[in-house]
Structures are given as C-alpha cells and as structure tokens.
Structure 1
Amino acid sequence: MRILQIITRMDSIGGAQRHVIELCQAARAEGHEVHLAFGGGCALSDDEVKGVELHCIESLLREISPVKDFRATRELYHLITTINPDLVATHSTKAGVLGRLAAARAKVCNVHTVHGWSVNFSGNPLKRFVYKQIESRVHRLADGIICVCEYDHGHAKKLGFDTNKLTVIYNGRPDTNVTETGYEPPTDHVRIVSIGRMAWPKQPEQLLRYLAKDTTTQLDLLGDGPREEEVKNLAKELGVDDRVVFHGHVDRIYPLLAQAHIFALVSDWEGFPMSTLEAMAAGLPTVVSAVGGAPEAISEGVTGFTIPRGDEDTLHRRLEELVNDEAQRQRLGRAARDKYLQQFRLETMVEKTLEFYLKCRQRKA
C-alpha cells in the first residue's frame, strides 16, 4: 500500500508522534510506501525518518483558525491527489478533522486514530464544546476509527459513532534492553521515576511532597515543559531538591528506567500513556492515576496500583508500601513485565494496525 500519515505537529515529540513514526518505519519494513504530512518543523532525527517521504503543511496549526484551517485542508487535498495514496491515516485532533475532510473530498480511504479525545483533554470549556460538535460530525467521514484504549472506545460510542467503524488497538512500545525482569538496581536508596511533560495535566508536585515525608527516597523526573522552573522551585521550598534529578527531555529512557525501583505517573488526565508501558517493559511496579485509559494497563495489586485523581494520601501510602517492601516490588515488577510481553509490545500494535488499515481499504473498495 501507499500510505499517507497525517499529524498536526512533529516539532515536539510526544506519545502520538512516537506512535506515528514507529508505524511509518514498521510499514516501510513490510514493503509499503509511506508518506508523512505535518505542520511546522520536525524534531525527529534523520535516522528516524529515513525512507519516509516528509511533507510540511505550514498552515496546519493546533489552534482553530478558519482561514489557515481552510488553507491547510486545501493543501492536504492537493497532497492527497498528488500522491494518490491507497489510505490516509490521521492522528491528533486538528489533523484528524482536516485530514478526514480532505480524504473524503478526494474519495480516498481514511482511518483516524484517537490518541485521547480533545473533548475531555482541553481545560477550556468552550474548546471542549467546539471539539465535541466537530467530532460528532466529522467521524462519519472516516472509514475506520482506532481507539488506543477502551476508555476512548466508550466515549466514541457515547458520541454516537458508528460502532462498525470502531476498533480498539492498544499502544505498544519497543522492548527494553533490561533482560532481568524485576531488576533491582545497585543503590542504597529507592528511586522513583516519573515521565511526563512539565505542564498540565501532570502533577509532579505530589511526588515532591512524598519526598518531604520520606527522607531517603530519590526521584527522577523525565520531561521538560513550561512549568519546569515552578516545579524546581517547589523542590527547593520543600527541601528535597538534593534528592530530585530533573533530566529534562530524554531520548533514551530505558537506561534511566533500569536504575529505578518504582514508576509513578500522577496526572489529572491521560489517554493511554506510553510511559506506563515502557516502565512495565523495564520490569517496574507502577503507581498510576486512575484517569482516562491509564488504569487499563494495570492489573490492580498484581502489576501495580491505581490512584483516584487528586488522592494524594493514597498515592503516598502506596509509594511508602512499595518503598519499604523489596519483595513486593520484585513480584509486581515481574508481573508488569509479563503483561507487557503479552499485550503491549510494539510489534503487536503494528500488526493489528496494518491489518485494520487493509480491512478498511478492502471494505471501501
């Protein structure tokens, strides 16, 4: 197949961007011709995009702009008619809407992947309303819709989407080089690791306040963002800055996961976070906020624990339990690794996605 992937931005690499480029490379490896369209710059390395035809759509922006959105739709339509792909695959809210409009006009098969619904994610009520009105209409233009978790699938049904077009394919991550499951790094102190952008909806402050109670545990925070200085200042105010490492943006996370004992993700909202899967691949017990699709990766009390949104007391209690019980950390870590291998490998996600692409194309033909 000739496949055109479309995503709103590639100048900042998050879960959706990783998902897309890994799909591109996997499809290439299987002999498909792959094109990738996006707005703005591209933060990927030359090796990551090798063999993928890149197309920058300058007018494709995150924010709603009627003039530029019309221009971006026209540019995408022109690109589709020029490339003549067998399938257009869209990702993220803006690219999902405009890409579906352009693909429908060009009468090309389109599959949209939902990486969390913007009607839930946006902190602005007006934006949530606008996104809901748009999504409730443009979903009809897709020949297939992939939800990366059951939570998103349930929300799609609430919005009245055609269930015949819907499927659930969980995110998948590459395996780690850490070969010993439940590996305990050589250190005198337990290390907690958290991965996430320093911006809403992540809540790293709750982890800092845990350190203020536990005077020996150390914390690794991976990720940068607009609130980074604010979080650093709080660490100083709490007197825990000597036990917190702010790594900023990290390309190779598995070596840092291999040095940790516990993974924690504290957030007010999530889709289906890849960071949890990466921690599971590294054999770490996980403590994760029960928001969005995040709990679906966790077997409660078997691979880790889920925490009600904003329940800092329960978070601290679970962390303390794991910090003080090495045997439990080992047991949960091994189970997390086993669950990753069974359900969340990158190869599993790629295989199911390409199969669904082919199914949608055949159904449209």
Structure 2
Amino acid sequence: MKKRILFIITRGDLLGGAQIHVRDLCKRATLDGYECLVACGQEGMFTEMLKALSIPYYIISALKRNIDPLQDIRAIKQITKLIWQTKPDLISCHTAKAGMVGRFAGFITGVPTIFTAHGWQFAEGISSLQKIVVLAIEYICAQLSKKIIVVSEYDYRLALVYHITSLKKLILIHNGMPDLPYIPHKTIAQPELVMIARFQEQKDHNTLFKALALLKAEPWHCTLIGDGPLFDHYKQEAVQLGLDSRITFTGQITNVQDYLQKSDIYLLISNWEGFPRSILEAMRATLPVIASDVGGCKEAVIHEATGYIIPRGDVAQLKIALQKLLQDSDLRKRMGNAGRIRFETYFEFEQMYKKTKAIWES
C-alpha cells in the first residue's frame, strides 16, 4: 500500500517556484498511487490549481510568512490537529515558515518529516539580523527532520558551513521540470526580454532598471511577470527613468510559458536565490539566460555558453551582457539551444522525482 503524504507550504494565494514544485510532485506521485494532501495558509492561485487536479487541500489559518510567536504556536496546533485527523505516513514541508511549524507538528505527532529548503533564509544578501534569527530556528528544527533536501550545491555547502545538520540527513536534489514541446522562436527586430520575479527584497529590479536605462538606444521591450509589495514602487520607477513605454508589468499570471515562447532573452536579477525554477523554464523554452551570481544560478547557467552570470548588483556587467545578446541574434540562438540541451540532460522532472521518491520510500 502506497504512502499518504501531507505536503505543507506557507502560501496558497500565489504561484511561485515552491508552489509549482509541490504541485508537480503531487501530480506525479498521485499517478504512482500515493495519496497526496496539501496544507497551506491561504486560498488563491495555488489552491485553485490543486482543486483542478482533484488534490485535497486544507487551510491553516494561522500559517503566515512573517515570524509571529503566538500565530506560529496556533499554526503548530492547527497542523497537529490536521495530522491526527488525516493520519499521513510522511510530512513534506516546503518554504521556511512551513518548514518550522510543520517539523514541530511532525515531532509532536511522531510522523517522519522531510524539509525541502528552496533557498536558505541565511544566504548571502540577506540581512544579518534575519540570518541570526533564522539560523537559531533552523538549528532546532533540523533536529526534528528525518531528512533535509536542498535544491542546489550552493545551499548544500551553506548548510555545511553553518553546521545545520549532519551529512547523513542532508540530501542534494536539483529542481526539475516536466518537459514541454519545443516551439522555434521567430527572430524579430525588437528583442523581447522577460523576467519572472515577485517585486520584493529578494529580487533586484533596481539593478535591472539601471542597466535598461543605459540601453535606451538599443531596440528592446521588457515584460516583468509577478506581483508583490514593491510592484507600485517599480512602476513609478519605470516612469521616472523614462522606461514605462518599454516595460510591461503583467502582475501575477498563470500562462507564463506563453510569454517565454514569445521572448528572446530571460533575466533573473536577484539579491539571493536557491535554485530558481524560472531559469529552468527559460532553458526549456530555448532562451539564453542572464542571471545574478547568487545561490545556485550558475549551477544551471553556464557562463558564456548558455547565457551570462553577472556579479550581484553589477549594473555595468549586466549592461554589457544585455548589449551582447541584443545585438547578436545568432548568439541568442546558440546560447538558447545550448540551454535547451542542458535542460534535457540534467533538469527534466523525472530525474528529480525518482530521487525524491527514493527518500520517501527510505
């Protein structure tokens, strides 16, 4: 008899990389006979997808992203009650807050718990105060984990540097994505840039805008996909820099692949990352990628082969990389094709799923 797995993730109102990761795992595991349940903090785009896939989900009203001791205790109680009711064989926690409250609830109920770190919250680029708080919490929660999965070599090394847990508990499994049919790109006179990123502190739209402002003489249009607390700020920033007619802000959307298929260059300019799934989406869509040298980005993007890796916050280097790709359609094609081959070789979903399933069964 296959296992019943309870996936816990903090937010259900948006569709980020972690939500897509959980959705894809649930979808595939269900085909293998597993019974998958999902618990999250709110209803929204993610839970609508679960509903369409007939995957049961439960709302944990006290589960919020920000640290709040009273709310967090309530969340632990609510999840503990849910565990008693649903009787899962295994708990799989995703994102930092869900990883904290979920592991405490798993410890209380005696159900084995796995935590997947989609990028540590004590990585380079995060404030010192946040690092101290998160590290203190993770040292405790790591003791409650059966296994900890990290999605990049960068995060694996970071866990060892900070002595988060033992080598026996720590497992590296790169993200993977289901393949989609390849659709050749049509070369147009005005290259289309695209970036999928929430407007929040983690993403570095500031550096991107400064670089784009230096490239007004070049033909280009940029589409920014995502929402977030800094959305209105950057819409105003685009106006102030004279970029508003050349940047489209879509907000949160579900048809991301349609935009990638119409684009020529993918950008992910960030302050910190785990192992970004959006880069894999871009490589799958045969796009060259320009990404900041943070987290596991350079484990996906091969500098000067499938795109460019630039130093974090480096406007000048971003401008140079963009200019090279904007001015050379053949270079864009070569790098995009190389990225597609790399995706097919290393980052297809089944590879990730088989490794993850082996942990579930162990």
Contact 1:287 1:306 in 2 (8 A): yes
Identify the residue that residue 106 of structure 1 maps to in structure 2: 109
Identify the residue that residue 9 of structure 1 maps to in structure 2: 11
Compute the displacement of 1:46 (Å).
Answer: 4.2
1:42-71, Cα deviation, whole Å (9 max, x unpaired): 433645333322111112222222222222
Structure 1 spans left out of the alignment, 5+ residues = 360-365
Compute the displacement of 1:122 (Å).
Answer: 8.3
Identify the residue that residue 45 of structure 2 maps to in structure 1: 43
Compute the displacement of 1:342 (Å).
Answer: 1.1
* Aligned CA distance change for structure 1 residues 255 and 167 (closer, same or farther; 3 Å): same
Work out whether 1:246 is the aligned partner of 2:253.
no
Q: What code does the residue aligned with 1:313 have?
A: A
Identify the residue that residue 31 of structure 1 maps to in structure 2: 33
Contact 1:191 1:259 in 2 (8 A): yes
Work out whether 1:315 is the aligned partner of 2:318.
yes
Work out whether 1:198 is the aligned partner of 2:194.
no
Identify the residue that residue 217 of structure 1 maps to in structure 2: 220
Work out the CA distance in 2 between the residues paired with 1:121 and 1:22. Answer: 29
Compute the displacement of 1:241 (Å).
Answer: 2.0
Compute the displacement of 1:343 (Å).
Answer: 1.3
1:75-128, Cα deviation, whole Å (9 max, x unpaired): 222222222211111111121112111112222221110011122378553332
Identify the residue that residue 173 of structure 2 maps to in structure 1: 169
Identify the residue that residue 272 of structure 2 maps to in structure 1: 269
> Pairwise mapping of residues 1-365 of structure 1 onto structure 2 (< 5 A)?
1-44=3-46, 46-49=48-51, 50-120=53-123, 123-160=126-163, 161-180=165-184, 183=185, 185-214=186-215, 215=217, 216-359=219-362
SS in 2 for 1:241: coil
Contact 1:145 1:166 in 2 (8 A): yes
1:338-361, Cα deviation, whole Å (9 max, x unpaired): 0111111223222221122112xx
Give the paired residue count. 356
Task: Between 169-178 and 311-320, report the one with greater CA deviation.
Answer: 169-178
Structure 2 spans left out of the alignment, 5+ residues = none
Compute the displacement of 1:174 (Å).
Answer: 2.8
* Aligned CA distance change for structure 1 residues 81 and 271 (closer, same or farther; 3 Å): same
Work out the CA distance in 1 between the residues paired with 2:235 and 2:248. Answer: 10
TM-score by length of 2: 0.93
Identify the residue that residue 362 of structure 1 maps to in structure 2: none
SS in 1 for 2:122: helix
Contact 2:123 2:158 in 1 (8 A): no
Compute the displacement of 1:235 (Å).
Answer: 2.1
Q: What code does the residue aligned with 1:316 have?
A: K
Work out the CA distance in 2 between the residues paired with 1:117 and 1:244. Answer: 31
1:247-301, Cα deviation, whole Å (9 max, x unpaired): 2212111121111111111111111111111110000111100011122111121
* Aligned CA distance change for structure 1 residues 135 and 335 (closer, same or farther; 3 Å): same
Compute the displacement of 1:201 (Å).
Answer: 2.2
Task: Between 347-356 and 203-212, report the one with greater CA deviation.
Answer: 203-212
Work out the CA distance in 1 between the residues paired with 2:115 and 2:277. Answer: 19
SS in 2 for 1:40: coil
Work out the CA distance in 2 between the residues paired with 1:311 and 1:47. Answer: 37
* Aligned CA distance change for structure 1 residues 206 and 72 (closer, same or farther; 3 Å): closer
Q: What code does the residue aligned with 1:172 have?
A: G
SS in 1 for 2:10: strand
SS in 2 for 1:55: strand
TM-score by length of 1: 0.92
Work out the CA distance in 1 between the residues paired with 2:360 and 2:272. Answer: 29
Work out the CA distance in 2 between the residues paired with 1:34 and 1:113. Answer: 16
Compute the displacement of 1:212 (Å).
Answer: 3.1
Work out the CA distance in 2 between the residues paired with 1:51 and 1:31. Answer: 14
Alignment RMSD? 1.8
Q: What code does the residue aligned with 2:259 have?
A: L
Contact 1:303 1:332 in 2 (8 A): yes
Work out the CA distance in 1 between the residues paired with 2:348 and 2:49. Answer: 22
Work out the CA distance in 2 between the residues paired with 1:212 and 1:69. Answer: 43
Work out the CA distance in 2 between the residues paired with 1:12 and 1:47. Answer: 11
SS in 1 for 2:14: coil
SS in 2 for 1:226: coil
